[in-house]
């Protein structure tokens, strides 16, 4: 008989936590019991899981007793406080926050890219940033063919990446503006409806943002190549769900658009949508709700010797967060790397 596991979802009532519950059920993860955890104000709230109702529990220091696997979708502060508690209780943690990503003792995993890294976990595995995940899924098969030396990426990130309150604010501001009213601003520093904000996370001393630095550092760690040069500009756009990226790649050796399309058409987790003659290219409204990372607009960059331009789109709540975490859990099950008493 195959094993089943007690699985906790920390932040179970948030947008990513809801997606985690949905995807665990969709993919028939071997859940013996789901333990949904959140703050005290959500304790007792009924939640759906696989067609049944489960009650949310308050996150405490004893929440992980008897739990085998914990998916964390809360903030970095919560993860710093509770991931070690879960680990010490004998639970394997897959953390979606930025808390552990650059810890050299913690694997940073995208299953299509570096699945082998789950083998050296010490109780905590980090889920990368949403924008990094979709980019490296596309980069990996190309990097294996002709080494990538430099990446310039500009992101167009949906408001769902900030959470449910940001989705509500986009809708509310759009309705108010169309009705001739002034928009109310609370989630972002400026109006997001009918606007773009080149500001995600906090600004750093060099003028970049923390989101941009995450893409730089995480790409190198996941691909295992610190020599790759990465330049990122991250922008919040008035899209409900689905992150888009303009990605410029430079290779050490020639890579034709035709060869790139051939490689990407066979790459795991990638869906090639690239037929300009029929207006076929990746868009957030197509990728939203889907598991694949979409890539198109594959074309030569004539300004450098070995350059390509790509357009990459994925559902940031699924592949950019919840799905990737569940896929890591599946790797652990497949390789018998979840410690069960």
Q: Catalytic site residues?
A: 130, 243
257: Cβ contacts below 8 Å, ≥ 6 apart: 298, 299, 300, 308
Nearest to 116 by CA among 269, 339, 338, 337: 337
Given a contact cutoff of 8 angstroms between Cβ atoms, the answer to whether 198 and 206 are in contact is no
Separation between Cα atoms, residue 265 and residue 273, nearest integer Å: 9
102: Cβ contacts below 8 Å, ≥ 6 apart: 108, 217, 218, 221
Orientation of helix 257-265 relative to helix 130-145, angle to 10°? 110
CB burial of 164-183 (b: ≥16 within 10 Å; e: otherwise) equals eebbebbeebeeeeeeeeeb
């Amino acid at each position: 008989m195959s094993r089943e596991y007690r699985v906790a979802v920390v932040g179970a009532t948030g947008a990513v936590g809801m997606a985690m519950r949905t995807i665990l059920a969709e993919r028939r993860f071997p859940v013996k019991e789901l333990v949904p955890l959140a703050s005290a104000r959500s304790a007792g709230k009924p939640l759906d899981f696989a067609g049944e109702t489960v009650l949310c529990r308050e996150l405490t220091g004893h929440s992980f007793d008897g739990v085998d696997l914990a998916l964390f979708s809360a903030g970095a502060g919560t993860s710093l406080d509770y991931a070690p508690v879960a680990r010490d209780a004998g639970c394997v943690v897959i953390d979606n926050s930025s808390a552990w990503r650059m810890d050299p003792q913690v694997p940073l995993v995208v299953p299509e890219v570096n699945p082998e890294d789950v083998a050296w976990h010490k109780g905590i595995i980090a889920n990368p940033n949403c924008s990094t995940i979709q980019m490296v899924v596309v980069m990996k098969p190309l990097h294996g063919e002709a080494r990538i030396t430099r990446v310039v990426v500009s992101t167009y990130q949906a408001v769902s990446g900030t959470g449910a309150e940001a989705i509500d604010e986009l809708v509310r501001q759009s309705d108010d503006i169309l009705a001739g009213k002034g928009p109310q601003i609370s989630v972002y520093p400026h109006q997001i409806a009918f606007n773009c904000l080149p500001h995600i996370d906090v600004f750093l001393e060099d003028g970049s943002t923390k989101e941009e630095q995450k893409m730089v550092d995480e790409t190198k760690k996941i691909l295992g190549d610190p020599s790759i040069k990465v330049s990122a500009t991250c922008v919040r756009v008035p899209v409900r769900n689905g992150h888009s990226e303009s990605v410029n790649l430079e290779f050490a050796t020639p890579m034709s658009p035709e060869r790139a399309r051939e490689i990407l058409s066979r790459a795991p987790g990638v869906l090639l949508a690239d037929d300009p003659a029929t207006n076929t290219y990746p868009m957030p409204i197509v990728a939203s709700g889907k598991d694949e990372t979409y890539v198109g607009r594959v074309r030569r960059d004539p300004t450098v010797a070995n350059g390509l331009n790509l357009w990459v789109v994925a559902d940031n709540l699924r592949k950019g967060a919840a799905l990737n975490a569940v896929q890591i859990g599946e790797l652990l099950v497949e390789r018998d790397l979840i410690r069960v008493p």
